[in-house]
C-alpha cells in the first residue's frame, strides 16, 4: 500500500483529507508541525488523527526554529508585504514543508500532502519549499483535484462526511470565517470577511490581542535587547527565540498592539481580504528599527530598505529556499553586525512610543548634531558649518547647468 505524509492541522480540511486519503488507498502519517499555535491542544490533535485511522501521528516541534531562522530574519530585513503584512503565515510554511519531508524520509513515504486551497498562496509556499529541498518530491494537493472538489464542494459536505465517519470537528456550517495560527500571528479570512463592507475587526474573535479600547488605562513599558539585530532579552531576562516572541505576544496582546485589516494581492493573481493580529512581531519590528536608526550607516540602511520589499515578496510567494534568498540572507547577516542595544517602548491602547534607546555601537554623536553652538568635544571639529558652502556648490552644479540650458518656468 502506498504511503504519504499529511501536513495535519487537526481542523476540518485536514481531518477530511486524512479520511479521503485512506479511502484512496494510502497509509497516512499525520504530522502536526508545532509552530507555536497558541490555541490548540496538541495531544487532542494526535488522538483525533489516530481515531480517524492514521498509520502514525506525531508532533514535530519547530517553534524555536521558526522564530530564530525565519521570523527574526524577516525582522532584520524589516520585510512587510505591501507595506503592512508581517508575513506570519508565509514564514511558517517553508519549515512545515521541511519537517514533513524529514518525516517522509524516515517512514519511507512516497508523497507529501497538504490541505491548502488551489486559490491561495499556501499551496505555492508548501510546494516551492518542498521542491527546492527535494526536487523529486511527489506533492498531493487534494483541493487541486477535481474528483476531491466534486465530493466536497463546500463545508456542508465536509461536515457531513465527518459526521458519517464519527470524526470530531469544531467547525460549523455557520462559522463566519476561517483562521490560521502560529506563534507569529493569527490570520482570519474567507466567509463573511469576503464582504468588504463588513467591519473585520468587529467580526473577528481575536485570539492573541484585546481591542485597544479594552486595553489598560495606563502605560506599560517593555525593554527589548538586541545583539547583531537579533532580539535576545525582554525586560532584562535572557530568552530563547521562541520565548522572545511568546513573551512579547502576551505583553503586546494585552495592550491591543498589532491588529490590521487589509486587502492584499495574492501570488496567484487575485486580491483577498485578511485580518491579522501579530502583537509580538509588531513590537519587534518597531524596536529593531529604533536600534538600527542608531547603529547602521545611512547608505547601508537605505540599500536595505530598497531591497526589503523584494525580500517580503519572496517570502510571501514562497521563495525561501533559493539562491537569491541565500545571498540576501548573507547580506543581512553582515549588515546587522553592529545592531546592538536596548529599546524601551511605552505601550498604550494599541499605540507604541519610544521611551528610550541606547547602544554601544551608536553612530549618533550629540556634540556633532547639536544646534547649540559648535559643540564642546574634539569630535565637534568633524563638522564645520562653513564647509557646507562648498558642499552645496558642488551638489548644486548639475542643477545650475540644467537650469541655464533648459530653463524652468517659475
Q: Which residues are catalytic?
A: 13, 93, 122, 178
Do 244 and 313 belong together in one domain? yes
Number of domain units in the chain: 3
Q: Whose CA is closest to 65, among 195, 228, 183, 167? A: 183
Do 326 and 377 belong together in one domain? no
Residue entry with cell 477535481 = 146
Is residue 410 situated within a structural domain?
no
Do 233 and 313 belong together in one domain? yes
Do 12 and 70 belong together in one domain? yes
Range of the domain at 7: 3-74+84-175
Neighbours of 65 (CB within 10 A): 17
Q: Residue 379: pLDDT band by 50, 70, 90 thresholds?
A: low
Neighbours of 280 (CB within 10 A): 29
Asked if pLDDT for residue 324 goes beyond 70, the answer is: yes
Asked if pLDDT for residue 336 goes beyond 60, the answer is: yes
Last residue of a domain, one of 158, 175, 192: 175
The CATH number assigned to the domain holding 39 equals 3.40.50.620
Do 57 and 23 belong together in one domain? yes
Which of the residue ranges 117-121, 132-136, 299-303 would you say has the lowest mean pLDDT? 117-121
Asked if pLDDT for residue 175 goes beyond 80, the answer is: no
Asked if pLDDT for residue 174 goes beyond 90, the answer is: no
6-9 — which CB contacts under 8 Å span 24+ positions? 6/30, 6/31, 6/54, 6/113, 6/114, 6/115, 7/31, 7/33, 7/96, 7/97, 7/100, 7/112, 7/113, 7/114, 7/115, 7/126, 8/32, 8/45, 8/49, 8/54, 8/57, 9/45, 9/115
Q: Which residues contact 266 (CB under 8 A, 6 or more apart)?
A: 119, 120, 121, 272
- Supply the Cα-derived Rg of the chain in whole angstroms: 25
Asked if pLDDT for residue 370 goes beyond 80, the answer is: no
Phi and psi torsions of 187, nearest 5°: -110, 150
Tell me the mean pLDDT in the region 251-259: 98
Return the higher-pLDDT residue of 294 and 190: 294
Cell numbers at 291, concatenated: 536600534
Do 288 and 201 belong together in one domain? yes
Last residue of a domain, one of 358, 375, 392: 358
Do 122 and 161 belong together in one domain? yes
Is residue 298 situated within a structural domain?
yes
Q: Residue 172: pLDDT band by 50, 70, 90 thresholds?
A: low
Do 185 and 323 belong together in one domain? yes
Neighbours of 344 (CB within 10 A): 17
Do 97 and 153 belong together in one domain? yes
Do 227 and 371 belong together in one domain? no
* pLDDT for the residue 371: 73
pTM to 2 decimals? 0.94
* pLDDT for the residue 373: 64
For residues 209 and 277, the answer to whether their CB atoms sit within 8 Å is: yes
Could you list the beta-strand ranges (E) of 8-117: 27-34, 56-61, 111-113
Question: How far, CA to CA in Å, does 331 sit from each of 155, 301, 312, 326?
Answer: 46, 12, 15, 9
The pLDDT tens digits for 272-310 are 999 999 999 999 999 999 999 999 999 999 999 999 999
Do 171 and 185 belong together in one domain? no
Do 240 and 254 belong together in one domain? yes
Is residue 79 situated within a structural domain?
no
Q: Rounded to the nearest 5 degrees, what angle is found at the Cα of 210, between the Cα atoms of 251 and 246?
A: 35
Phi and psi torsions of 27, nearest 5°: -80, 125
Is residue 347 situated within a structural domain?
yes
**DSSP calls for 284-319:** HHHHHHHHHHHHS-HHHHHHHHHHHHHHHHHHHHT-
* pLDDT for the residue 155: 82
* pLDDT for the residue 383: 84
Q: Residue 154: pLDDT band by 50, 70, 90 thresholds?
A: confident
Neighbours of 53 (CB within 10 A): 16
The CATH number assigned to the domain holding 284 equals 3.90.1260.10
SS3 205: coil
Is residue 198 situated within a structural domain?
yes
Q: Whose CA is closest to 278, among 49, 138, 89, 93? A: 89
Rounded Cα gap, residues 409 and 169, in angstroms: 71
Tell me the mean pLDDT in the region 135-164: 94
Is residue 129 situated within a structural domain?
yes
Is residue 328 situated within a structural domain?
yes
Last residue of a domain, one of 175, 210, 239: 175
Rounded Cα gap, residues 118 and 243, in angstroms: 35
Amino acid at each position: 500500500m502506498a504511503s504519504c505524509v499529511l501536513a495535519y492541522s487537526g481542523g476540518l480540511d485536514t481531518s477530511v483529507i486524512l479520511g479521503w486519503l485512506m479511502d484512496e488507498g494510502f497509509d497516512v502519517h499525520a504530522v502536526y508541525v508545532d509552530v507555536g499555535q497558541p490555541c490548540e491542544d496538541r495531544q487532542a490533535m494526535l488522538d483525533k488523527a489516530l481515531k480517524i485511522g492514521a498509520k502514525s501521528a506525531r508532533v514535530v516541534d519547530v517553534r524555536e526554529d521558526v522564530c530564530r531562522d525565519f521570523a527574526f530574519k524577516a525582522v532584520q530585513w524589516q520585510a512587510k508585504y505591501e507595506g503592512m503584512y508581517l508575513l506570519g503565515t508565509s514564514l511558517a510554511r517553508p519549515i512545515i514543508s521541511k519537517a514533513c519531508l524529514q518525516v517522509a524520509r524516515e517512514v519511507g513515504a512516497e508523497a507529501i500532502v497538504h490541505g491548502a486551497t488551489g486559490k491561495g498562496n499556501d499551496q505555492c509556499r508548501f510546494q516551492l519549499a518542498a521542491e527546492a529541498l527535494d526536487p523529486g518530491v511527489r506533492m498531493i494537493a487534494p483541493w487541486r483535484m477535481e474528483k476531491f472538489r466534486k465530493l466536497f464542494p463546500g463545508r456542508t459536505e465536509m461536515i457531513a462526511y465527518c459526521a458519517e465517519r464519527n470524526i470530531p470537528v469544531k467547525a460549523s456550517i455557520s462559522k463566519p470565517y476561517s483562521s490560521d495560527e502560529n506563534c507569529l500571528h493569527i490570520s482570519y479570512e474567507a466567509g463573511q470577511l469576503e464582504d468588504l463592507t463588513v467591519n473585520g475587526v468587529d467580526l473577528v474573535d481575536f485570539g492573541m490581542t484585546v481591542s485597544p479600547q479594552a486595553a489598560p488605562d495606563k502605560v506599560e513599558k517593555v525593554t527589548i535587547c538586541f545583539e547583531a539585530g537579533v532580539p535576545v532579552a525582554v525586560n532584562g531576562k535572557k530568552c530563547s527565540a521562541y520565548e522572545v516572541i511568546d513573551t512579547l505576544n502576551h505583553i503586546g496582546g494585552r495592550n491591543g498592539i498589532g491588529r490590521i485589516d487589509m486587502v492584499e494581492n495574492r501570488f496567484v493573481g487575485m486580491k483577498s481580504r485578511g485580518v491579522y493580529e501579530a502583537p509580538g512581531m509588531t513590537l519587534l519590528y518597531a524596536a529593531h528599527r529604533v536600534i538600527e536608526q542608531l547603529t547602521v550607516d545611512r547608505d547601508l540602511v537605505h540599500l536595505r530598505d530598497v531591497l526589503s520589499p523584494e525580500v517580503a515578496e519572496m517570502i510571501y510567494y514562497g521563495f525561501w529556499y533559493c539562491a537569491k534568498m541565500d545571498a540576501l540572507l548573507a547580506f543581512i547577516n553582515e549588515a546587522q553586525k553592529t545592531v546592538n542595544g536596548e529599546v524601551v517602548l511605552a505601550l498604550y491602547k494599541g499605540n507604541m512610543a519610544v521611551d528610550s534607546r541606547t547602544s554601544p555601537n551608536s553612530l549618533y554623536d550629540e556634540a556633532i548634531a547639536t544646534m547649540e553652538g559648535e559643540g564642546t568635544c574634539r569630535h565637534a571639529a568633524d563638522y564645520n558649518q562653513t564647509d557646507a558652502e562648498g558642499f552645496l556648490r558642488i551638489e548644486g552644479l548639475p542643477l545650475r547647468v540644467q537650469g541655464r540650458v533648459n530653463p524652468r518656468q517659475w
